[in-house]
Each structure stands twice: as structure tokens, then as C-alpha cells.
């Protein structure tokens, strides 16, 4: 905890004074453009990776960047998504998975989380991603299979998002766009799903090609 306390003190004495005007503006409300649904993994820092300023991202985090299909029983995720699109009026929704995801490892090997009933139940929301990855890529194993499951999981959660009434409404009116991303921790890059090719492609490469 010591380094966290030191960080708070540094923020208060150095960072906050430099950006006081921004924090004063944010103290009365927020108007983020993006809802980012990503993993709770400690290695994933959405603000750092996207270089976003405070107030620009409305972030929902959980194990496996999962969005269960709409249900009144899933109050936390549903409420956050509903609030983001209906009240805050976000115009972009990103589901962002990442490399070496422990949740996806658990989804691939359910026996590994058998002693964690809540985790096992939660990962049932990714079962279809595992099935799809194994069907599309029957010869893959190890890291390659994990990567395929991670990609399929992002696409699956985007499908689940469309079952949420609040999201369905803004999609129908063209007010929101959906994006599927994967953060490659070791490479420091984002891979974005391209609906035209069906592939996850490097944002760095795409930007370089467009320049």
C-alpha cells in the first residue's frame, strides 16, 4: 500500500494542480464519448492504452470482459450499460479483450475453476466462444487456441450487447457504433475486428497504411 499512498500524495501535490481546470469542470458532470467494456485484469489500463483524459471513458470491468445476454437478474452490468447509452449518450461502445486472459483460460478448461463456483458460473457466458473457436480451428492448441477463444469471446459479447434493449434502441437509430478490440499486452498494440474481412487487425498497421 505504501506506493499507492505515495501516488495519492504525488497526485495531490503535483498532478492535480497542473490539471485543476479539467478536474473543476469534471466535478459538475461527465460526458464521455466511449463506453469501454474490458477485463478486470491488472495489466489492462484502458486510460493508459488509449491515452484518454479523465472524463472521456465510461468503463465497465469484469473477469473476461463479459456482457451477459440481457436479463433482469444481471443488474450491475445491465444498469451500467443502460446508463451509459441512455443518460450519458455515449456514441461508441468497445468490448476489449486482451492477450493471456486468465478468464479465457478458465473458459477453455472448466475443471481449472471447478473450486470457484461463482467464477465457473460467470464463465458460462463465454461457453459459446470456446465452442466456436474449437469448431473453426480444430487443429489449434495452446496459445493459438487461447487467442482464437479470446477473439471469439469479444465477438460473442458484442452479440450479447445487442440483446440489451437500451443498446438495441440506439443501434436502430444509428446513434451508437460497436467495436471489438483485443489488447496485445506484450506488443503494446490494439487489434480491432474488421467486419469486412472477419479478422482482428492491428490498429497501428491500419493507421500506418492510411497515412
- Mark the binding-site residues for Zn(2+), compressed into ranges: 39, 41, 98, 101
* Cβ-Cβ contacts under 8 Å for 149 (sequence gap 6 or more): 104, 107, 108, 126, 129, 130, 133
What predicted TM-score, i.e. pTM, was given to this entire model? 0.94
C-alpha cell recorded at residue 32: 464521455
Write phi, then psi, for 132 (nearest 5 degrees).
-65, -45
β-strand partners of 180: 95
User: In 3D, which of 40, 69, 38, 34 has the Cα closest to residue 181?
Assistant: 38
Closest to 93 in 3D by CA, of 77, 104, 116: 77
Per-residue model confidence (pLDDT) at position 206: 79
DSSP state string for 57-83: EEEEEETTS--PPS-TT-HHHHHHHHH
Average pLDDT over residues 129-152: 97
- Report percent pLDDT > 70 for the chain: 99
Domain parsing of the chain, residue ranges: 1-30, 31-210
In tens, the pLDDT along 86-107 reads 999 999 999 999 999 999 999 9
Binding site feature residues: 39, 41, 98, 101
- How far is it, in rounded angstroms, from Cα 95 to Cα 37? 5
Strand order in the sheet with 92-98: 57-62, 34-39, 92-98, 177-184, 189-194, 199-202
Q: Chain-wide mean pLDDT for the chain?
A: 95
Give the CATH number of domain 31-210: 3.40.1050.10
**What is the DSSP secondary-structure string of 174-193?**
T--EEEEEEEETTTTEEEEE
**Angle, alpha carbons 143-149-154 (nearest 5°):** 130
**Residue for grid cell 463456483:** 117
For the cut 70, the answer to whether the pLDDT of residue 139 exceeds it is yes
- Cell reading at 47: 486510460
Amino acid at each position: 500500500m505504501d506506493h499507492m499512498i505515495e501516488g495519492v500524495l504525488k497526485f495531490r501535490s503535483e498532478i492535480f494542480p497542473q490539471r485543476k481546470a479539467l478536474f473543476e469542470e469534471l466535478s459538475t458532470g461527465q460526458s464521455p464519448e466511449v463506453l469501454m467494456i474490458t477485463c478486470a485484469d491488472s495489466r489492462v489500463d484502458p486510460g493508459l492504452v488509449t491515452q484518454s483524459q479523465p472524463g472521456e471513458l465510461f468503463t465497465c470491468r469484469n473477469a473476461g470482459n463479459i456482457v451477459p445476454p440481457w436479463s433482469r437478474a444481471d443488474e450491475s452490468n445491465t444498469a451500467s450499460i443502460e446508463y451509459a447509452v441512455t443518460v450519458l449518450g455515449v456514441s461508441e461502445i468497445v468490448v476489449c479483450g486482451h492477450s493471456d486472459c486468465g478468464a479465457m483460460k478458465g473458459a477453455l478448461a472448466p475443471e481449472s475453476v471447478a473450486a470457484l463456483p461463482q467464477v465457473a458460473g460467470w464463465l458460462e457466458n463465454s461457453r459459446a466462444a470456446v465452442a466456436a473457436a474449437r469448431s473453426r480451428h480444430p487443429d489449434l492448441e495452446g496459445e493459438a487456441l487461447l487467442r482464437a477463444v479470446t477473439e471469439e469471446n469479444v465477438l460473442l459479447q458484442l452479440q450479447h450487447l445487442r440483446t440489451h434493449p437500451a443498446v438495441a434502441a440506439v443501434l436502430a437509430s444509428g446513434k451508437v457504433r460497436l467495436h471489438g478490440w483485443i489488447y496485445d499486452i506484450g506488443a503494446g498494440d490494439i487489434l480491432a475486428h474488421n467486419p469486412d474481412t472477419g479478422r482482428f487487425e492491428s490498429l497501428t498497421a491500419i493507421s500506418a497504411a492510411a497515412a
